[in-house]
Amino acid sequence: MKALVVDDDPITLTLLRDSLKYLGYEVATARNGREALAYLDKEPCRLIISDWVMPEMDGIALCKAIRERPIGGYVYIVLLTSKGGTTNLVEGYAAGADDFMSKPFEPAELNSRLRTARRILSLEGRDVTIFALARLAESRESDTGVHVERSRCFAQTLARDLAAAGKFTDEIDGEFIRLLYLTSPLHDIGKIGIPDSVLLKTDHLSDEEFETIKTHTTRGAVTLEEALRDFPEAKFLRMARDIVLNHHERYDGKGYPKGLAGEAIPLCARIYALADAYDALISRHVYRDAVDFEGARQIIAAERGKQFDPQIVDSFLRCEERFIELCKTTKDPSTQRELPEEA
Amino acid sequence: MNAINVEELLERCMGVHSIMETVLAEFRDLGEEMLRNIETRLDEGAWRKASEAAHSLKGASGNISAESLHALAAKMEICAEKADAEACNELRQVLRREMELCLHDISEILNDCPV
Ligand SMILES: [Fe+2]
């Protein structure tokens, strides 16, 4: 497996390079964020260990730049922090860092951080498969697959903004943001069980048909619930289940399937609900034209405290520009994703 | 060998002598320049730059387990940030002496096990 080490201090660079080589990694080095990005433009790399404070471009700016690049495979970023320093880990998570390591580092700590990184990157192999399945489920309704990709980016953007704004700090950390990104494509997996005659119907649905559509939440959740019984510790499955089951719940309690209200709806589902709704608004559907960005914003804002959590609507209003940017740049993922290399 | 905690350094290098030697040789070649960089910035009264230079030395000396040097560089980083001329002036003498001890130790370690 390849690792990119980024540090302006040559000693750290040498030490990490040689240690990682000794541990069997292929190692590239860069002296600041800008050099690192230039390297990534040419060579794919899944694991980055970067210093926080650097000239030209620091670790935070590097994280943000990597996360804003068009979606390829997941890049796992470990930021180095000075021991006893007053580094703000929340700032790191919000920028998109996955983990932190203090320096001067202890080999045991380095080893355990690397183990975690490899485990998460290898899980991504599974994620790519799941993502493909999720797209397959969606492909019955749309032929682009762009919805799945774009709405997960919206959700991730919201979660990062909430972290940066210091909201939901007891729930949102780097892992939460990563899991949200990984699991949200599964939201409509239960639609696999809905017959074409209902799912693809273009004119008005009868009450009975609408009730059938609604069951995609519980159908999907049942499958994941079974898997969860076998792997109760799998946070990935837990969040997937929460999103699948609850992404049509409304903050005011008028949603489905259970009519949960407010904080009783899991946070991941409250975030994803807005991402999903926004994408539906700006997508061209068979039954109506896409509304423009201005119209979409007004609709979302009007649902503050009704369909959506007010804090999440506020977050959306803060990062709407990023949403619009994503709309313009998100390409069909089938042409861009690649399988991660094995460690 | 008081200036450098060799045991800790070797552990950080996964117990591999050649890694330790490479890192020490690198510090031997760069340490003096890093220190001079701090001194130049202090002379110029460029406090921020001096603090950044001290930050770099702090990182480098921490990595080679030069514990006293690391602690002094950390102090210098803070004093320069605060533009505390008096404290910086006192520190630079001590810092230079500690650097000399370190470089002396490094050359002895490297001589014992030539790269
Ligand atoms: Fe849905």
DSSP, collapsed to helix, strand or coil, labels residue A288 as strand
Please report residues of B whose CB lies closer than 8 A to that of A55: 52
Look at residue A131 and tell me if it is in a domain: yes
Q: Separation of A217 CA from ligand 1 center, angstroms?
A: 7
Contact A12 B60 (CB under 8 A): yes
**pLDDT given for residue A334 in this prediction:** 36
A182 and A92 both lie in a single domain: no
Mean pLDDT of A158-182: 91
Return the bridge partners of A76, or none: A47
A12/B contact by beta carbon, under 8 A: yes
Q: What is the distance between the alpha carbons of residues B17 and B30, in angstroms, rounded to a whole number?
A: 20
Report the chain A residue with the minimal C-alpha distance to residue B25: A11
Q: What is the pLDDT of residues B49-67, one digit of tens each?
A: 999 899 889 989 999 999 9
Q: Which residues of chain B have pLDDT under 50?
A: 114-115
A111 and A182 both lie in a single domain: no
Q: What is the pLDDT of residues A229-269, one digit of tens each?
A: 877 777 888 999 999 999 999 999 999 999 999 999 999 99
- Cα A68 → chain centroid: 12
- Which of A9, A56, A83 is best to mutate for the B interface (most B CBs within 10 A)? A9
**Among A122, A145, A164, where does a domain finish?**
A122
Look at residue A335 and tell me if it is in a domain: no
Q: How many separate helices (H) and strands (E) can be counted in chain B? A: 5, 0
A184 and A233 both lie in a single domain: yes
Look at residue A87 and tell me if it is in a domain: yes
Look at residue A6 and tell me if it is in a domain: yes
Contact B19 A53 (CB under 8 A): no
A166/B contact by beta carbon, under 8 A: no
Q: What is the distance between the alpha carbons of residues A316 and A311, in angstroms, rounded to a whole number?
A: 9
The CATH number of the domain holding residue A31 is 3.40.50.2300
A116 and A210 both lie in a single domain: no
**pLDDT given for residue A336 in this prediction:** 36
Of B14, B27, B30, the CB nearest to A19: B14
Question: Could you say which residues from 15 to 74 on chain A have a Cβ atom under 8 Å away from some Cβ of chain B?
Answer: 15, 18-19, 22-23, 51, 53, 55
Domain boundaries, position A89: 2-122
**pLDDT given for residue A335 in this prediction:** 33
**Among A122, A150, A183, where does a domain finish?**
A122
Q: To which CATH superfamily is domain B6-108 assigned?
A: HPT domain (1.20.120.160)
Which amino acid, residue A190? G
Q: What is the pLDDT of residues A111-128, one digit of tens each?
A: 889 988 988 887 766 666
A40 and A186 both lie in a single domain: no
Out of A70-84, A218-232, A301-315, least confident range: A70-84
Give the pLDDT band (50/70/90) at residue A200. Answer: confident
A112/B contact by beta carbon, under 8 A: no
Residue A286, token pair as written in the block? 């068979």
Out of A239-253, A282-296, A299-313, least confident range: A282-296
Residue B95, token pair as written in the block? 């810092």
Output the furthest CA–CA distance in chain B (Å, rounded).
Answer: 42
Q: What is the distance between the alpha carbons of residues B59 and B31, in angstroms, rounded to a whole number?
A: 11
- Which of B4, B8, B23 is best to mutate for the A interface (most A CBs within 10 A)? B23
Residue with tokens 């030697």, as numbered in its chain: B21
A40 and A175 both lie in a single domain: no
**pLDDT given for residue A339 in this prediction:** 34
**Among A97, A122, A147, where does a domain finish?**
A122
**pLDDT given for residue A332 in this prediction:** 41
DSSP codes of every residue in B24-75: HHHHHHHHHHHHHHHHHHHHHT-HHHHHHHHHHHHHHHHHTT-HHHHHHHHH
Size of interface A-B (CB pairs under 8 A): 66
Q: What is the distance between the alpha carbons of residues A131 and A127, in angstroms, rounded to a whole number?
A: 6
A249 and A288 both lie in a single domain: yes
**pLDDT given for residue A338 in this prediction:** 35
Report the chain B residue with the minimal C-alpha distance to residue A17: B19
Chain A nearest-CA distance from B64, in A, is: 8
- Which of B12, B48, B103 is best to mutate for the A interface (most A CBs within 10 A)? B12
A95 and A234 both lie in a single domain: no
The CATH number of the domain holding residue A185 is 1.10.3210.10
Residue of B102, B113, B111, B104 whose CA lies nearest to B5: B102
Calculate the CA dihedral of residues A284, A281, A131, A176 and round it to 10 degrees. Answer: 160
Chain A nearest-CA distance from B27, in A, is: 7
Please report residues of A whose CB lies closer than 8 A to that of B74: 84
A38 and A159 both lie in a single domain: no
Contact A11 B16 (CB under 8 A): no
Q: Is the pTM of this model over 0.80?
A: no
DSSP codes of every residue in A80-99: EEETT----HHHHHHHT--E
A23 and A133 both lie in a single domain: no
For residue A196, what are the CA distances in angstroms to A77, A143, A218, A280, B104?
Answer: 42, 15, 18, 20, 79
Look at residue A336 and tell me if it is in a domain: no
- Cα B33 → chain centroid: 10
Please report residues of A whose CB lies closer than 8 A to that of B55: 53, 82
Q: What is the total count of domains within chain A?
A: 2
